[in-house]
Structure 1
């Protein structure tokens, strides 16, 4: 009996390129950066010696975004800069055009007379509601 043979061609196994993990790392870093930019609010810092006023009541709520800051010395700060009297009145006029509410971050060493004076100026500018931002006593 005669045998007939036929050659079989087996293709060579090609070496697969290893999966590159740097693309996944770049994606993770990009998403982390995006998350930090979206979730964090970039706002100017408070004055160096600012010490929050304390309260024992937990009533009301307010947004400190674009709020005014009252320091111990009676200076008013907005977005990291001290406001003089004319700038303060301009700020109050702009704030009353946006809303009838004003938020004030208060230093606990600030004088009550200063807050009362600001309340009168705010009322004259058309602001009907003044919110004082404080921290709960013992939670710092």
Structure 2
């Protein structure tokens, strides 16, 4: 008796097609999360703009000295007390880079305890 040669069973490729399809959908969705900018838009260049520190901000030097508009300030509480009520909603601090973090946090807490609603730290923007 002659036996018929056994045929190799075909590989089922449907699961592989499903995985590839799901990956395709994932990359389509991930690639369209951020809307592209308008092609005709030209962004502003700020490379040559000279900036100065805000005049209404409390400057804290590396040794802990406080100044405002070039004049010495006795304490954070005294600075807040001198400001009008409208300015107390958002008070700004410009710390020196070498100022210890504990000192900066202490000054911020003292300003809030004296009546400042929100204390904002002004920093240099890194690119």
TM-score normalized with structure 2 length: 0.51
Unaligned runs of 5+ in 2: 1-51
| Matched length | 77
Native 8 Å contact 2:55 2:69 kept in 1: no
Asked whether the 8 Å contact 1:96–1:127 carries over to 2, the reply is: no
Which structure 1 residue ranges, 5 or more long, are not aligned? 1-42, 47-63
Root mean square deviation of aligned Cα: 2.6
TM-superposed CA distance for 1:96, in Å, is 6.1
* Higher relative contact order structure (alpha carbons within 8 Å, sequence separation ≥ 6): 1
Q: In structure 1, which of residues 63, 72, 76 is the aligned counterpart of residue 66 of structure 2? A: 76
Offset of residue 100 of structure 1: 1.6
The residue correspondences of 1:1-140 to structure 2 (distance < 5 A) are 64-85=54-75, 88-95=76-83, 97-98=85-86, 99-137=88-126
Matched-pair contact (CA < 8 Å) for 2:55–2:68: no
Q: Which moves more between the two structures, 98-107 or 67-76? A: 98-107
- What TM-score, normalized to structure 1? 0.47
Deviations 1:86-109 (A, max 9, x none): xx4222123362332111111110
